[in-house]
Amino acid sequence: MGERKGFGDRATYAMLEERAMVVFHQFTDREASHLMYAFASRGFGNKNLHQRIVKHLHERLEHYDYQALYNTVQYLMLTDEKSDELWTKLMKNVEKQEDPVPIIFYYPFKMSKFYL
């Protein structure tokens, strides 16, 4: 991942990364999705953190709501994740939602069409 600009400095994210690795299992699905988006959008995070995130996605993705799916789509594109299994789980989750994608969450779903 390349260097990206965002809020917060590298030292803040380095400290957050250390703490996140310890307590990641305590995050709700939505909290985990916010964390993954924050790290991916800034191009930050070590290999172990991203492996932990991908493992979490394999385990929990089918339970995500639209807010968490929004963050996940962006995470997958920003980290160039090409796992067919994850993308398939994500699309199956979207299909099972009772409501259509809310307009405020629509953009990354549309962009993923071009990514895939």
Average pLDDT over residues 9-35: 90
Extents of the domains making up the chain:
10-115
Q: Are 67 and 103 in contact (CB under 8 A)?
A: no
Please state the pTM of the whole predicted model. 0.85
Residue 1 has pLDDT above 60, yes or no: no
pLDDT tops 70 at residue 4 = no
Going by C-alpha positions, the residue among 15, 55, 4 that lies closest to residue 32 is: 55
From the list 64, 58, 67, 51, the residue with the least C-alpha distance to 17 is 51
The confidence score (pLDDT) of residue 113 equals 79
Which tens digit of pLDDT belongs to each residue from 32-91? 999 999 999 888 888 999 999 999 999 999 999 999 999 999 999 999 998 999 999 999
Q: When comparing pLDDT for 80 and 10, which is higher?
A: 80
The span from the CA of 80 to the CA of 63, in Å, is 22
